[in-house]
Each structure stands twice: as structure tokens, then as C-alpha cells.
Amino acid sequence: MKKALHIIISGGGTGGHIYPAIAIANEVKLRYPEAKILFVGAKDKMEMEKVPQAGYEIEGLWISGIQRKITVKNLLFPFKLLSSLWKANRILRKFKPVVAIGTGGFASGPTLMMANRKKIPTLIQEQNSYPGITNKLLSKKAKKICVAYDNLERFFPKENIIKTGNPVRQDLLSIHSKKEEGQAFFDLKKDKKTVLVIGGSLGAKRINQLIELELGFFQKQDIQIIWQCGKLYYEEFRVYNDDEDVQVHAFLNRMDLAYAAADFIISRSGASSVSELCIVGKPTIFIPSPNVAEDHQTKNAKAIVDKHGAIMLKESELHTFPVVFETLMKDKGKQESLSENIKTLALPNATSDIVNEIEKLIN
């Protein structure tokens, strides 16, 4: 491996596909500083901004998913697919990668499809407990399928599955020694319990509405809140920064310190969040988004709840939140058992294990 390795990574649409892709790229660069890594994303999606911020080049394809209802966008889909297959083929021909990696999202379909056709070995990283249609199709030709949950042989060829977990921020591995640093960073009172609310980078409308509705309840319980409402909702909810024990953030740049400071966590159950929360090991209430493909957030949360590692509240059950939360808050034994059980599901070496599998393909 004297000459520089050329590696293509494709994935995006949401942070859940982008951040694992960047984590994999960083680990490759750590091992092979001379490696050339090119990302392929979907034009107009957040990867076109986030990947260059992380220091990598990216090419954009004209691709999007099929809408569930009949729309004009669906009529364009065949043209977008053909355009993307053609451009992906051109990128592969010019860049000559030794391996192509897909982390999910629209762009990974055409990219890995053309890589398979050119006999370039492919690896897919499936973050969820219930895979999307793209990865199900790609898995038939993929050499390796890195997964985060058990029982995925229902969807993928069993002999190619490796359970690695999902890449997570490495700074989370040391959060248990950072509680005081977290409290100081967020200017929290040490004698009060802290609830951390996270709804993903864009935010979660129903979770934000719930927190707004229950601010009086939290005040009665003498609780302080770190509320990441997402950039789409910040203007609407920033007014609550005037409350002494409430801080509203569009985005949290120091997730490690937010997790460290928290006593309880309320979160969506996207794959990356679930993987992080297994390492964090705090009592967690998952509120899955019902508006995602294959309802995979509910399935992700259920995989943890079935092992007694968290509580799940569906959006249709949010009226029961005060009772559920107060019961948890008063039950120290329950808090401890949730923490212990969710920690047993953590796979902190995921990034390294995935890159080990990539190395096998290269060699």
C-alpha cells in the first residue's frame, strides 16, 4: 500500500448518515494520512455543507427519495436516478477508489450501485434496527454489512453481516468524569436535577411543544432544563431563555458536557442518538418520530426498551408524560437499572471496528 489509497464514502440527508461517514473518514485518515477520501452526497442536502466543514471534498448528485404521496417530484425521480447513475459512474472512473462505503441516504444508492457494477468492493453501514430500502437493495452485492443491532439477517445476507455498532463521538467515552465541568459550562445549579432535551439537529416539533406545555410541571419539580430545540424552532422558543431554570439552544456544540451535566434525558431515537445514549448511560425517555421511513425510530427505541434500558413514549401518549416522568424521578432503583441496562448495549469501538473491515477489503 505504497501509493495513496483512494476511498469513496457516500451518505447523507440527515446527521444520522453524515456524522458516521465523517467519523469513518477521520479514522481512515488517522491510519493512512496519505489516503485521498472523496464524499458523494445529494445536492441541496446538509452533507454539502457539513462535509467540507469537516475538511473533506464532496461531489453532489441530483437525487432525492420517492415521496409517499403522488407528487410532481415523483415524476422527476427516474430522470434524477439516471442522471445520478451517470454522474456516479463518471466520478468512479475518474477517482478510481479501491473501496466504496455507503452510510445510507439517497446518494449512496447510485454510488454503490455503480461501484458494484465496476467490481469495486463495497461496504455498507446500517445504523438502524430496521433498514431502509436503499441498503436492502445494496446489501445483495455488498462485501461487508456493518450493523448496530441483532437480528438483521432477516434483511441482509447473513454471511456478510458484522455487528460493529454505530460510530459515536469519542469525547463521550470520558463524560463520567466531566459532570462538574458540564455544570460550570452550562452555568447550572448543583443542587438541582437537570433534564437534557434533544430533538436532533433540525429539532422535533412535538417534543418542543411538550416541553413548552410542561414548563410549569418542571418548575414544580424544581428541575432545570437544557433544551436543544433545533435551528428550525429556535426563533419560536428562544423566549423561554428568560426563565431562570430554562436554557434554549438551537444546537449544542459541546454534547459531551451536556450529557455529562444531565440527570435525565428526553430524546428522539434516531440511530446515532441511541448509540450515543448507550454510552452515556443516563435514565432516558425516548419519544420516537413517527414521520420517518419504515417507522425505524420506534423500532430503534423498542430494541433498547425490550432490554429494559429506557422508557419509550409514543407521540400519541405524550399526555401521560408528567406521570411517567414523576414516577421515574421518585424511583432511584428504576433510574439505576435503566442506566446499567442501557450501558450493556454500548459498542464504543464501532468506528475502529468498521475501519478494520474496510482494511480487509483493501488488502
Q: By the 8 A CB rule, do 344 and 316 touch?
A: no
- Same domain? For 211 and 336 the reply is yes
Distances (CA, A) of 139 to 56, 122, 145: 26, 9, 7
pLDDT tens-digit readout, 237-255: 999 999 999 999 999 989 9
pLDDT tens-digit readout, 3-42: 689 999 998 887 778 989 999 999 999 999 999 999 999 9
Classify residue 24 as exposed, middle or buried by CB count within 10 Å of its CB (0-12, 13-18, 19+): buried
Domain presence at residue 225:
yes
Dihedrals phi, psi of 57, to nearest 5 degrees = -80, 150
Domain that holds residue 185: 170-343
- Same domain? For 352 and 337 the reply is no
- Same domain? For 335 and 188 the reply is yes
Q: What is the DSSP letter of 54?
A: T
Looking at the structure of the chain, the number of domains it has is: 2
- Same domain? For 291 and 355 the reply is no
Cell reading at 244: 431562570
- Same domain? For 264 and 127 the reply is no
Percent of residues, the chain, with pLDDT higher than 70: 97
In sequence order, the 6+-apart residues with CB closer than 8 A to the CB of 237 are 208, 212, 227, 229, 248
Query: What are the residue ranges of helices labelled H in 3-105?
Result: 15-31, 47-53, 72-95
The CATH number of whichever domain residue 104 belongs to comes to 3.40.50.2000
- Same domain? For 159 and 308 the reply is no
- Same domain? For 273 and 355 the reply is no
pLDDT (0 to 100) of residue 65: 64
Closest of 109, 114, 115, 112 to residue 133, by C-alpha? 109
Cell reading at 216: 410549569
Dihedrals phi, psi of 61, to nearest 5 degrees = -105, 150
pLDDT (0 to 100) of residue 328: 98
- Same domain? For 147 and 208 the reply is no
Domain presence at residue 42:
yes
- Same domain? For 115 and 155 the reply is yes
CA 35, chain centre distance (Å):
25
pTM (predicted TM-score): 0.86
Domain presence at residue 1:
no
- Same domain? For 76 and 191 the reply is no
Mean per-residue pLDDT over the chain, rounded: 92
- Same domain? For 311 and 358 the reply is no
Residue 293: pLDDT above 80?
no
